[in-house]
Amino acid sequence: MEYLGGKISIDVNDKVFLKDPRSSKLGNKIIEGAIDLIDEIGFEEFTFRKLASSINSTEASVYRYFENKHNLLVYLTLWYWGWLEYRLVFRLVNVEDPYERLDRAIKTLTEPIKQDSDFTQIDEVKLNRIVISESSKIYLHKLVELDNSHGFFKPYKDLVQRVCDIILEINPGYKYPHMLISTCIEGAHHQRFFAEHLPRLTDILPDEDAVTTFYLDLIKKAIQK
């Protein structure tokens, strides 16, 4: 899929970095290198020293861009939510029927990710694996309310709200649209993680994207009047 051929970029909340990594060659290498390295060794094993060595730079230089590795992970996650909202908007534009809109929205949120040629510097497939395995660590910690006060969760809320609006168009009386959509987004991540690492915890069916089918069915039944 390509809409604009590299002519746009996803803006990320500037409180998350010390210096914008998009503003220099080294900054871009930090983002690309971080995606490769976190995907490879996981967030716990990932350190700025290892990242610096993998891109032939130094630890102190990485610290000029990000206060710590937590904020770097927040950056990657915010970019991802921004990118996903951009994709969602494109897949819904000019589609009027709310049922068709909901179907497209759920698929956008739950289907496996393919490379997006509009953003050649970012490997969305690796980034999706990172979001699945690591992104919940950005809010499952004691400073979540501080991060929230900086607006780090706004892109996620915006994304959820867009789908809520469709649900409320279909059934204005449905009481739990936010719970339903965040359950669906987080749940789809969990199920894909389970399917890969703990298959006995899910229901794998060959030749079918069971995750998307399951959440499509779940949401449609949930919002029935």
Partner DNA sequence: TATTTTTAATAGTAACACTATTATATTTGT
Partner DNA sequence: ACAAATATAATAGTGTTACTATTAAAAATA
**Count of residues in contact with a second copy, rule CB under 8 A:** 48
Identity at 148, one-letter amino acid code = N
67 contact, one of DNA, a second copy, none, CB 5-8 Å limit per kind = DNA
Contact positions with DNA (CB under 7 A) in 44-63: 47-50, 57-61, 63
Give CA–CA dist 186/172, Å, rounded: 24
Q: Kind and range of the H or E element at 193?
A: helix 177-197
* Residues 27-46 contacting a second copy, CB under 8 A: 41-42, 44-45
- Cα(66)–Cα(20) distance, integer angstroms: 9
* Minimal distance, residue 149 CB to DNA, in Å: 19
Nearest to 9 by CA among 152, 160, 121, 130: 121
Q: Backbone dihedral region of 47: left (phi > 0), alpha (psi from -120 to 50 degrees) or beta? A: beta
**Residue 22 interacting with DNA (CB under 7 A):** no
183 is a site residue for a second copy (CB under 8 A)? yes
* Residue numbers 142-181 binding a second copy by CB under 8 A: 142, 144-145, 148, 153, 156-157, 160, 175-180
Taking CA 109 as the corner, what is the angle to CA 107 and CA 113, rounded to the nearest 5 degrees? Answer: 85
Binding mask 45-74 toward a second copy (x if CB under 8 A, else -) reads x-----------------------------
User: What does the alpha-carbon distance between residue 104 and residue 129 come to, in Å, rounded to a whole number?
Assistant: 21
Burial class (CB in 10 A: 0-12, 13-18, 19+), 145: exposed
Q: Which of residues 152-211 bind DNA (CB under 7 A)?
A: none
Residues of the shown chain interacting with a second copy in the complex, contacts defined by CB under 8 A: 41-42, 44-45, 133-134, 136-137, 139-142, 144-145, 148, 153, 156-157, 160, 175-180, 182-183, 186-187, 190-191, 193-194, 197-198, 200-203, 205, 210-211, 214, 217-218, 221-222, 224
